[in-house]
Amino acid sequence: MMFETWWLLALPLVFGLGWMAARFDVRQLISEQGALPRSYFKGLNFLLNEQPDKAIDAFIEVARLDPETTELHFALGALFRRRGETERAIRVHQNLATRPDLPEPEREHALFELGEDFLRAGLLDRAEESLRRLMSGPYAASAKRVLLELYEVEKEWQKAIEAARELQTLEQTSYSLQIAQFCCELAQDALQRKRPEDAVKWLNQAVAENPANVRAPILLGDVAAAAGDARAALGHWLGIERQDASFLPLVADRVVKAYASLQEEGAALEWLRGLLKGKLAPEVLDTAYKAELEVNGPEAAARLMREQLRRQPTLLALTKYFEAQAAVVTAGAPSAQPAGADAPAEGAEGADGNGEQAQETTAIRDLLQLRTRNLARYTCRECGFRARLFYWQCPGCNRWETYAPRRSETLG
């Protein structure tokens, strides 16, 4: 009975305290909202309506009225950098970083943003200096990621390897794909400086880091070819089929030259004809056409393209067929007729007819070449950047191995 009476007396007191606390919170909220300038809410409204220019003007007014609003300064700096106004972003973040009353976490934040500003402005030394001050603490991983990006821009590949290894330890995430590519870049630099031993050392390291890396055997083949060992080069290049056959078109021209240096052009043609019967045909068609044309002449090249049109009809194969036909006509050789075409009756056409045929064939060839010249492109899987050449690092998003070795448009 005593317990129940006590609760009856306590309940009104609890409700009263809750009501007073709620009144206090409401008054505090109204007070805080009243203390914020109207420009703050205008800026937010402009941001929500995707009007960053007007938002910046409104936030600048707020920052002028209340210089202590560090969060607002960070927002302004980010907006300036997004718009490409890196000088203004640098000024905002420098002012924050040099404020003596700024807490250490916010100072580190300002240094990190400043490093990003310098990187975007192309002031790479100053960016590295700012980011190097953050090698420990909450911004260490973020700073090292930006440093890695910076070293890639500067082509400081050994520093990039060190930064990637540090990130690998810090984040417990594999960076083997990137490290292998950095090793390949160092190998390529060594090849350009005529230092094949260094190139081989870096390429072996790339394979050890990432056994699935296809670029390393391609470059090892280049090293062997430069040393005059065509057979060893072929071993590296043809061995790519065991890793990923889709990369074979990248070495098709190299394989043809290596066989030619060994005076085994027939082996090269046999290899290319085998690829023409599979899914890689659109990628090796140009190489196969040129090799057949050089070894056996335009009539054989026309026959090869005619066979390819029967097997896999594509616009590219048709273009190459008419290129060969035009070469046949120009050389004065008998024209290779497409499958199913009726041969002209003897004497039905004279010299004028042959001249008209040559003009028509040339006109069709030129039209097809114009149509196919800019169609086939390699496409980045991450950002969609399209390029005529194959890149190991996308020029658009700077990511590694995002280009498939097959072009997105095969001219079918």
Q: Residues 85-131: pLDDT tens digits? A: 777 777 777 776 777 776 777 777 777 777 777 777 777 777 777 77
233 and 221 Cβ atoms separated by less than 8 Å:
yes
Q: Look at 231-245, 283-297, 369-383 and tell me which has the smallest mean pLDDT.
A: 369-383
Q: Is the pLDDT of residue 15 over 80?
A: no
Q: Is 380 annotated as a binding residue?
A: yes
Domain boundary among 128, 147, 173: 173
Q: Establish if 7 belongs to a structural domain.
A: no
Q: Is the pLDDT of residue 309 over 70?
A: yes
The count of domains in the chain is 4
Q: Are residues 313 and 328 in the same domain?
A: yes
Q: Are residues 166 and 133 in the same domain?
A: yes
State residue 156's pLDDT score: 92
State residue 208's pLDDT score: 96
Looking at per-residue pLDDT, the higher value among 19 and 216 belongs to 216
Looking at per-residue pLDDT, the higher value among 146 and 240 belongs to 240
Q: Are residues 113 and 202 in the same domain?
A: no
Q: Is the pLDDT of residue 214 over 50?
A: yes
Q: Are residues 158 and 89 in the same domain?
A: yes
- Torsions phi, psi of 380, nearest 5? -70, 130
DSSP state of 195: -
Q: Is the pLDDT of residue 137 over 70?
A: yes
State residue 16's pLDDT score: 54
Looking at per-residue pLDDT, the higher value among 30 and 228 belongs to 228
Number of residues that this document lists for the chain:
412
Which residues fall within 8 angstroms of residue 323, CB to CB, at 6 or more apart? 289, 365, 369
Q: Establish if 287 belongs to a structural domain.
A: yes
378 and 368 Cβ atoms separated by less than 8 Å:
no
Q: Is 183 annotated as a binding residue?
A: no
Which residues fall within 8 angstroms of residue 113, CB to CB, at 6 or more apart? 74, 77, 78, 81, 89, 93
Segments forming the whole domain that contains residue 290? 252-337+351-368
In CATH, what number is assigned to the domain containing residue 83? 1.25.40.10
State residue 343's pLDDT score: 44
Q: Are residues 128 and 185 in the same domain?
A: no
Q: Is 184 annotated as a binding residue?
A: no
Looking at per-residue pLDDT, the higher value among 156 and 411 belongs to 156
Q: Establish if 13 belongs to a structural domain.
A: no
Q: What percent of the chain has pLDDT over 90?
A: 35
CA dist 188 and 195 (Å) reads 10
Q: What is the per-residue burial (b if ≥16 Cβ within 10 Å, else e) of 284-304?
A: bbbbbbbbbbeeeebbebbeb
Q: Establish if 134 belongs to a structural domain.
A: yes
The pLDDT mean for the chain works out to: 77
Q: What is the per-residue burial (b if ≥16 Cβ within 10 Å, else e) of 142-173?
A: bbbbbbbbbbbeeebbebbbbbbebbeeeeee
pLDDT in tens, 37-85: 554 444 445 444 455 555 555 555 544 445 456 776 677 677 777 777 7
Q: Are residues 103 and 158 in the same domain?
A: yes
Q: Establish if 78 belongs to a structural domain.
A: yes
In the block, residue with structure tokens 């640098």 = 90
- Torsions phi, psi of 386, nearest 5? -110, 140
Q: What three-state secondary structure class fits 106?
A: helix
Looking at per-residue pLDDT, the higher value among 247 and 93 belongs to 247
Q: What three-state secondary structure class fits 199?
A: helix
Pairing of strands 386-387, 378-379: antiparallel
State residue 190's pLDDT score: 95
Q: Are residues 397 and 316 in the same domain?
A: no
Query: Residue 229 burial (CB < 10 Å; 0-12/13-18/19+)?
Result: middle
Q: What Cα–Cα distance (Å) separates residue 221 from each residue in 8, 208, 256, 260, 270? A: 91, 17, 13, 15, 20
CA dist 168 and 347 (Å) reads 78
State residue 350's pLDDT score: 46
DSSP state of 379: E
Q: Are residues 384 and 357 in the same domain?
A: no
State residue 271's pLDDT score: 96
CA dist 163 and 141 (Å) reads 10
What would the mean pLDDT of 312-340 be, rounded to a whole number? Answer: 70
Q: Are residues 360 and 382 in the same domain?
A: no
Q: How many other C-beta atoms lie within 10 A of the C-beta of residue 20?
A: 10
Q: What is the separation, in whole angstroms, between the first and last Cα of the chain?
A: 92
Q: Establish if 234 belongs to a structural domain.
A: no
State residue 47's pLDDT score: 45
Q: Is the pLDDT of residue 410 over 50?
A: no
Looking at per-residue pLDDT, the higher value among 275 and 10 belongs to 275
Quickly state the pLDDT bin for 155 (edges 50, 70, 90): very high
CA dist 148 and 115 (Å) reads 12
Q: Look at 109-113, 179-183, 247-251, 311-315 and tell me which has the smallest mean pLDDT.
A: 109-113
What would the mean pLDDT of 235-261 be, rounded to a whole number? Answer: 95
Q: Is the pLDDT of residue 335 over 60?
A: no
Q: Establish if 358 belongs to a structural domain.
A: yes
Going 219 to 224 to 226 to 227, the CA torsion angle's sign is positive
Q: What percent of the chain has pLDDT over 70?
A: 68
Quickly state the pLDDT bin for 184 (edges 50, 70, 90): very high
Q: Is the pLDDT of residue 321 over 90?
A: no
Q: Establish if 36 belongs to a structural domain.
A: no
Q: Are residues 287 and 312 in the same domain?
A: yes
CA dist 385 and 401 (Å) reads 13
CA dist 132 and 159 (Å) reads 13
Quickly state the pLDDT bin for 186 (edges 50, 70, 90): very high
Q: Are residues 159 and 200 in the same domain?
A: no
Q: Are residues 256 and 363 in the same domain?
A: yes
